[in-house]
Amino acid sequence: MSFEVFTDTRSRTKEYISVTANRTFGLPRTFIDKQNITNNERCVILYDKDTKQVALHFSDQGPKFGLAIRIPNKAQGGMVVAHSFFDRIDIDLPKYVGRYDDFNKVDLKSLGYDKEGVAYVIKLDEHKNDKPTSGVETNSVVVDITPVDPSEIPF
């Protein structure tokens, strides 16, 4: 029997697009790698206000209305700073902050644009909280704490 040490502890394995409270679209490394997105591209945002759907199209053809894609290095994910977009659309942003792993990859032509390429479409839905909670209330007070001898810890 041969055991190997698992060393890839920092990488994310899921593809998703996130909407952040800082008015950006977050792109994890897995998404960037699988969709072949680079710093040389620009992100064009398309928005359907009736259905609250956002489509992100990444292009290296110098689109007129494209936003920069920031990818700091080959190990980290990236982001599209979209302050102007979020400032102009009429939504209560904190309700929509979170991960959108149910994005759809669609042809631009199906969105009504006569251009070659694809877009990644998310539907803005109200998110409660994407992070799991421990079940402990944040306002709870621990009264009885017994010190632990470190030598009694089994690892």
Has residue 5 got a pLDDT over 90? no
Please check whether residue 135 lies inside any domain of the structure: no
Residue 135 pLDDT grade (very low, low, confident, very high; cuts 50, 70, 90): very low
Q: Hey, what are 128's tokens?
A: 């409660």
Q: In the prediction, which pLDDT does 107 show?
A: 94
Q: In the prediction, which pLDDT does 119 show?
A: 95
Burial category of 96 from C-beta neighbours within 10 Å (exposed 0-12, middle 13-18, buried 19 and up): buried
Question: Which residue, 5, 1, 26, is CA-closest to 15?
Answer: 26
Other C-beta atoms lying within 10 Å of the C-beta of residue 63: 16
Angle subtended at Cα 67 by Cα 63 and Cα 72, rounded to the nearest 5 degrees = 125
Q: What is the per-residue pLDDT across 80-119, written as a single tens digit (0 to 9) for each?
A: 999 999 999 988 999 999 999 999 999 999 998 888 899 9
Average pLDDT, the chain: 83
Q: What is the per-residue pLDDT across 24-43, written as a single tens digit (0 to 9) for each?
A: 999 999 999 999 999 999 99
Q: Are 99 and 18 in contact (CB under 8 A)?
A: yes
Q: In the prediction, which pLDDT does 147 show?
A: 65
Please check whether residue 62 lies inside any domain of the structure: yes
Please check whether residue 138 lies inside any domain of the structure: no
Is pLDDT larger for residue 150 or for residue 59? 59
Please check whether residue 81 lies inside any domain of the structure: yes
Has residue 151 got a pLDDT over 80? no
DSSP 108: G
Overall domain count for the chain: 1
Please check whether residue 10 lies inside any domain of the structure: no
Q: In the prediction, which pLDDT does 137 show?
A: 47
